[in-house]
Structure 1
Amino acid sequence: MSFRLMTDKDIPAYQALLHSAYQATTQLGIHFAAATIKQSQIAEHIESNAVYLFEKDGELLSTLSIRFPWGNNPGPYGLPHLGWFATDPRYKGQGYGNALWDFVEQQILINQLKLPAVTLGTAANHPWLAQTYINKGYKKIGQADLTPDHTTLYFEKILNHKSYTEWKKRSNKQ
């Protein structure tokens, strides 16, 4: 088992995973961009964002993106924003998604990037995603009507309270 950053050669497998994993959400009437993403859009996405993969025996099991404020699709709060979290439905409930999430949060966001906080968004009408993020320590900070089929709920998780306080002081002065 390994965690790694996505490369161009992973695009076809990544696209297949996203389409498969987001099919259930589409059946709920919620249309996330990842459900129908094209390979050209994925190539653009990985140019300015970090996409982490979890593989086992060379097979892609789970994925999580970090959208940067300076990237092509920044989150709304000036912080890195998590998205396109998906696990191959054949492996649902086996902990692979949680393992990747924990790796990205601890090793990348906290230890490597030293982030004060991170944000994410999900559909308000999704039956369990908001509660999943709350259980992971995220707190609701806002919402927006970005698409006709759902309201997006935004969540934030403070990763380092001291640097978060300093960041908030600086951002409020601007």
Structure 2
Amino acid sequence: MTENIRLALPVDAPAVLDVSLRAYEPIRELNIHFSAAAADLQLVLNNITRNATYVLEENGRIIATVTIRYPWSDPDQSNPYPFIWWFAVDPEYKRKGIGSKLLKYVEEHVLRDQVKAPAVYLATAERHPWLVSIYKRRGYRVFDEKIHQGDKIVFLRKILNESLYQITENKVPINNQ
């Protein structure tokens, strides 16, 4: 078994769409309105070309995907931290640590070590039966809520570098680094 994590390319859009639609089936069944749950090929292609979409492959087959939307890529963005979204694992690979491996890679290797992001955040529907608790176990903490299409959406943040986070939040003067 050969695993590889890499940035998605436009040619990967059909495979990313397939994994996403199958992984988001429970979201659709819960009638939660997330764009990834009802994506089409053009939407996936736009996501891959406008954001940093990572895939985890096993023997050349995409089995998980996650996207990082950087604050500078969205002019309406008010949060200074990268946003994780469109996180999906092929249902055949659920509960095997694949999603954790991909998320850990993105949080630590990409965001903390390469980008030097102080923190990262994501959002999910509060009524989803397990997502909020999974993210809390991974170190994410709720910092905001809002209603979106009738659902209470919770925003969760994870601090990746405490000293940079304190500077970003203006809690430590820059000259005291």
Match of 1:106? Answer: 108
- 2-structure distance, mates of 1:37, 1:43: 10
Does 1:40 find its partner at 2:42? Answer: yes
**Where does the alignment leave 5 or more consecutive residues of structure 1 unmatched?**
none
Q: Which residue of 1 aligns with 2:161?
A: 160
Structure 1 runs of 4+ with >6 Å offset: none
Do residues 136 (structure 1) and 138 (structure 2) align? yes
Q: C-alpha distance in 1, partners of 2:103/2:129? A: 20
Q: Deviations over 1:108-163 (max 9, x none)?
A: 01111111001100001001100000000001000111222x11100111111111
Q: Could you tell me which residue of structure 1 aligns to residue 95 of structure 2?
A: 93
What's the CA shift string for 1:35-91, capped at 9, x where partnerless? Answer: 111211222222221011000011111111101112248765221000111100011
Rounded to whole Å, the distance in 2 between the matches of 1:51 and 1:151 is 26
Query: Which letter does structure 2 place at the counterpart of 1:12?
Result: P
Q: Which one-letter code corresponds to 1:34 in the other structure? A: A
- CA gap of 1:33–1:109, structure 2 versus 1, over 3 A, is same
Give the counterpart letter for 2:33 in structure 1: H
Rounded Cα–Cα distance in structure 2 between residues aligned with 1:97 and 1:81: 17
Aligned residues: 169
Give the superposed CA RMSD. Answer: 1.5
SS in 1 for 2:170: helix
Percentage identity across aligned positions? 34
2:134 counterpart of 1:127: no
TM, length-normalised to structure 1: 0.92
In the superposition, the TM-score normalised over structure 2's length comes to: 0.90
Give the 3-state SS of the residue equivalent to 2:144 in structure 1: strand
Could you tell which deviates more after superposition, 2-11 or 62-71? 62-71
Secondary structure at the residue paired with 1:55?
Answer: strand
